[in-house]
């Protein structure tokens, strides 16, 4: 039987799949916590079985349960709290100004999967067209293809024009263009073409990688 302390943590409504309250507070994705929940439940069943064989009495089992729960939570929290070291200083450069000028023409355009016009556009098409207009560079049409162009860079070394990639689900991928001042422009499913902060809880927790398609 699973130790009661661990049971109260990992099977609570807050932790249950579809919840996400703990995920928001400690900076994890809900998918990450769900996977941990399945793994930890299995491990605790094994360890609690070993405890019954070795703890000998109720006091020993309670102590062992607390040790197991503390260890599991330490591992879980340690894997969640780190966030990318994004820059945040204001940037005023020719690249930044060119990107923002182009963005202003598209701002508010609704998101349409597969769309490529101002009637509706998706994230990779917006990136592709921005690069074609601003940098005179042709990128692949899809997000996965775009993620393979150029070199991967650290979040702390971002410059205007670099691409930001996010994992938004089990197979979902999203892309935007960094413009400086901790912001990126992209075609959001909810807001259409918009500007967002890389420091927000959602985007920082879903960050996958950054690339520099154009080498200076």
What number of residues does the chain have?
216
Whether residue 98 sits in one domain with residue 72: no
Confidence of residue 38 (pLDDT cuts 50, 70, 90): low
Confidence of residue 6 (pLDDT cuts 50, 70, 90): very low
CATH number at residue 136: 3.90.1720.10
Segments forming the whole domain that contains residue 45:
4-78
Residue 76 reports pLDDT greater than 50: no
Is 199 assigned a catalytic role? Answer: no
Residue 160 reports pLDDT greater than 60: yes
Give the pairing type, strands 151-153 and 163-167. unpaired
Whether residue 45 sits in one domain with residue 112: no
Token pair for residue 107? 């701002």
For residue 24, the model assigns a pLDDT of 43
Q: What percent of the chain has pLDDT over 90?
A: 55
Which pTM was predicted? Answer: 0.64
Residue whose structure tokens are 């703990």? 22
Confidence of residue 215 (pLDDT cuts 50, 70, 90): confident
Residue where a domain terminates, one of 78, 106, 131: 78
Question: Considering the domain boundaries, does residue 18 fall inside one?
Answer: yes
Average pLDDT over residues 39-55: 49
- Return d(Cα 111, Cα 121) in angstroms, integer: 5
Q: Active site residue: 55, 174, 199, 206, which one?
A: 174
Question: Considering the domain boundaries, does residue 57 fall inside one?
Answer: yes
Whether residue 119 sits in one domain with residue 70: no
The sheet carrying 151-153 orders its strands as 151-153, 207-212, 163-167, 173-180, 183-188, 192-197
From 140, 139, 130, 125, select the one nearest 100 (Cα to Cα): 130
Question: Considering the domain boundaries, does residue 84 fall inside one?
Answer: no
Neighbours of 79 (CB within 10 A): 12
Whether residue 161 sits in one domain with residue 203: yes
> Hey, which residues does 120 pair with through a beta bridge?
117
Residues sharing a CB contact under 8 Å with residue 160, sequence separation 6 or more, in sequence order: 91, 93, 95, 96, 99, 178, 179, 180
Whether residue 127 sits in one domain with residue 72: no
The region of weakest confidence among 46-60, 97-111, 169-183 is 46-60
Residues sharing a CB contact under 8 Å with residue 177, sequence separation 6 or more, in sequence order: 99, 127, 130, 131, 161, 162, 163, 164, 184, 185, 186
More confident residue, 39 or 141: 141
Number of folded domains that form the chain: 2
Cα 176 → chain centroid: 13
Question: Considering the domain boundaries, does residue 33 fall inside one?
Answer: yes
Residue whose structure tokens are 């879903």? 206
More confident residue, 58 or 210: 210
Whether residue 109 sits in one domain with residue 35: no
Is 136 assigned a catalytic role? Answer: no
Q: Active site residue: 136, 186, 199, 206, which one?
A: 186
For residue 114, the model assigns a pLDDT of 97
- Return d(Cα 148, Cα 77) in angstroms, integer: 31
Token pair for residue 21? 């309250």
Question: Considering the domain boundaries, does residue 89 fall inside one?
Answer: no
Residue 68 reports pLDDT greater than 90: no
Confidence of residue 46 (pLDDT cuts 50, 70, 90): very low
Whether residue 202 sits in one domain with residue 114: yes
Average pLDDT over residues 103-126: 98
Q: What is the torsion angle, in degrees rounded to the nearest 10, for the CA atoms of residue 26, residue 31, residue 35 and residue 40?
A: 30
Is 186 assigned a catalytic role? Answer: yes
Residue whose structure tokens are 């309670």? 62
Q: Active site residue: 123, 136, 199, 206, which one?
A: 123
Whether residue 169 sits in one domain with residue 105: yes
């Amino acid at each position: 039987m699973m130790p009661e302390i661990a049971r109260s943590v990992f099977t609570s409504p807050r932790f249950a799949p579809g919840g996400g309250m703990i995920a928001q507070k400690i900076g994890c994705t809900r998918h990450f916590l769900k996977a941990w929940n399945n793994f930890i439940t299995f491990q605790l069943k094994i360890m609690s079985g070993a405890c019954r064989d070795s703890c000998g009495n109720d006091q020993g089992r309670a102590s062992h349960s607390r040790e197991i729960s503390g260890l599991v939570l330490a591992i879980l929290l340690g894997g969640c709290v780190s966030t990318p070291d994004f820059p945040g200083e204001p940037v005023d450069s020719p690249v930044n100004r060119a990107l923002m000028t182009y963005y202003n023409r598209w701002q508010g355009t609704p998101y349409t999967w597969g769309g490529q016009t101002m009637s509706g556009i998706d994230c990779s098409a917006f990136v592709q067209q921005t690069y074609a207009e601003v940098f005179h560079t042709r990128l692949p049409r899809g997000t996965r293809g775009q993620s393979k162009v150029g070199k991967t860079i650290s979040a702390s070394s971002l410059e205007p024009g670099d691409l930001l990639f996010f994992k938004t689900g089990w197979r979902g991928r999203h892309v935007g263009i960094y413009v400086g001042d901790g912001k990126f422009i992209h075609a959001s499913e909810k807001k259409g073409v918009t500007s967002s902060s890389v420091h927000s809880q959602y985007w920082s927790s879903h960050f996958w990688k950054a690339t520099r398609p154009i080498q200076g």
